[in-house]
């Protein structure tokens, strides 16, 4: 089936991806807010909630790959030229970079008086370079590491597809046909193999003493496979066309694997050493979310009382991800210096995390999205994400 249309004939947002995006940002906010709020009140934070940020980011990555993969499959079937690839990149950059730069500048204005490093601030304005193959310069605006992973994937994966298409076209010259159909089964397997295998191999080469938080989990070259799992999921789905029953079974398997990873019980099922565990734990989480994608994408629209808040949170998830930690850090700084009560600090944090993303979406992100150049694609491939855009 195709994505439903609204009364104006435009393709509507699918509920499933909106729900996953909302859950992902809630997991990240729960991780960071819980740690700070419990600290303000002097309580112990449950570890099950403390690790939710890890799974929230992993879900963001896999969902991004799933949605981007759907667009790339349609683009490939349109036999894209250079301009089509350029438009794809421009659309991705218009979605991510303006909001990133805006909030970075705003947050710098508030934090500069307490001594933000100029070197760190300069690096943050070029997110492609801040953690490509090395840790971030400092922890301030730490959530930006994941944006660098996404931006490099948006750049490298399409370029790899285009290069593979060009090589495949050249190989057809003896047959006299220079217009090789850009079928995904010709170009996706080698590109996916590189993106799925190289990052874990690089992680395996890391010393066992390396920092898990600052290196293994946050350096770009070690994390590109997470997004590739999402692309793999949508490509196999479009290639094999599994039934709803099969997709439901994959979703159940994904939930079971996710539970094993989240609770740590996967260590009882898979007998791996510490180094192998650190190497492949990301892939276990990515596999779990990839298995969920097909079933989640086909969820029907719920009643309006649930659909509306999920859609609103999904729309504002990017800005919420960018600003939530800085808002709470600023409130915590003011709390320590002005002796605010924990209740007031929590109230101000929640208010900031509600108001700032709403303003960002309405005044900045949505207007920019409406001005993006149109993407030329082949006729939509049947499915719930036909012509979907990961906005």
Query: Quick one: average pLDDT of 213-218?
Result: 93
Contacts (Cβ under 8 Å, ≥6 apart) of 106: none
Query: Quick one: average pLDDT of 45-62?
Result: 92
Per-residue model confidence as pLDDT tens digits over 170-201? 765 544 444 444 467 789 999 999 999 999 99
Binned at pLDDT 50, 70 and 90, residue 380 comes out as: low
What is the chain's alpha carbon radius of gyration, rounded to the nearest angstrom?
A: 21
**SS3 at position 379:** coil
CA gap 74, 374 in Å, rounded:
14
Nearest alpha-carbon partner for 388 in 84, 86, 10:
10
pLDDT at 220: 97
Backbone angles phi, psi at 256, to 5 degrees: -65, -45
Contacts (Cβ under 8 Å, ≥6 apart) of 334: 340, 345
Q: How many CB atoms lie within 10 A of CB 382?
A: 10
Nearest alpha-carbon partner for 378 in 72, 121, 22:
72
Q: What is the pTM of this model?
A: 0.92
């Amino acid at each position: 089936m195709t994505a439903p249309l609204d009364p104006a004939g435009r393709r509507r947002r699918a509920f499933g991806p909106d729900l996953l995006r909302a859950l992902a940002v809630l997991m990240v906010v729960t991780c960071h807010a819980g740690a700070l709020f419990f600290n303000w009140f002097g309580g112990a934070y449950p570890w099950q909630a403390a690790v939710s940020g890890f799974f929230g980011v992993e879900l963001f990555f896999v969902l991004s790959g799933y949605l981007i993969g759907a667009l790339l499959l349609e683009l490939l079937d349109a036999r894209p030229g250079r301009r089509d690839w350029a438009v794809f990149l421009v659309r991705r950059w218009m979605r991510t970079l303006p909001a990133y730069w805006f909030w970075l500048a705003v947050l710098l204005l508030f934090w500069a008086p307490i001594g933000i490093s100029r070197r760190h601030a300069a690096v943050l304005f070029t997110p492609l370079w801040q953690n490509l193959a090395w840790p971030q310069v400092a922890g301030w605006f730490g959530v930006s590491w994941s944006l660098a992973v996404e931006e490099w994937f948006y750049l490298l994966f399409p370029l790899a597809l285009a290069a593979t298409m060009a090589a495949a076209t050249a190989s057809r010259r003896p047959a006299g046909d220079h217009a090789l159909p850009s079928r995904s089964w010709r170009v996706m397997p080698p590109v996916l193999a590189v993106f799925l295998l190289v990052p874990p191999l690089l992680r395996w080469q890391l010393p066992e003493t390396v920092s898990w938080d600052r290196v293994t989990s946050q350096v770009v070259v070690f994390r590109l496979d997470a997004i590739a799992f999402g692309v793999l999921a949508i490509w196999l789905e479009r290639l094999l066309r599994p039934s709803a029953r099969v997709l439901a079974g994959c979703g159940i398997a994904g939930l079971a694997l996710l539970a094993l990873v989240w609770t740590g019980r996967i260590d009882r099922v898979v007998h791996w050493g510490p180094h192998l565990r650190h190497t492949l734990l990301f892939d276990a989480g990515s596999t779990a979310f990839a298995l969920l994608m097909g079933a989640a994408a086909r969820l029907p629209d719920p009643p309006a009382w649930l659909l509306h808040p999920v859609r609103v949170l999904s729309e504002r998830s990017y800005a919420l991800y960018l600003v939530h930690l800085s808002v709470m850090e600023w409130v915590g700084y003011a709390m320590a210096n002005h002796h605010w009560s924990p209740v007031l600090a929590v109230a101000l944090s929640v208010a900031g995390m509600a108001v700032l993303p709403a303003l960002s979406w309405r005044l900045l992100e949505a207007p920019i999205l409406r001005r993006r150049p149109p993407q030329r694609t082949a006729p939509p491939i049947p499915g719930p994400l036909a012509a979907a855009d990961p906005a």
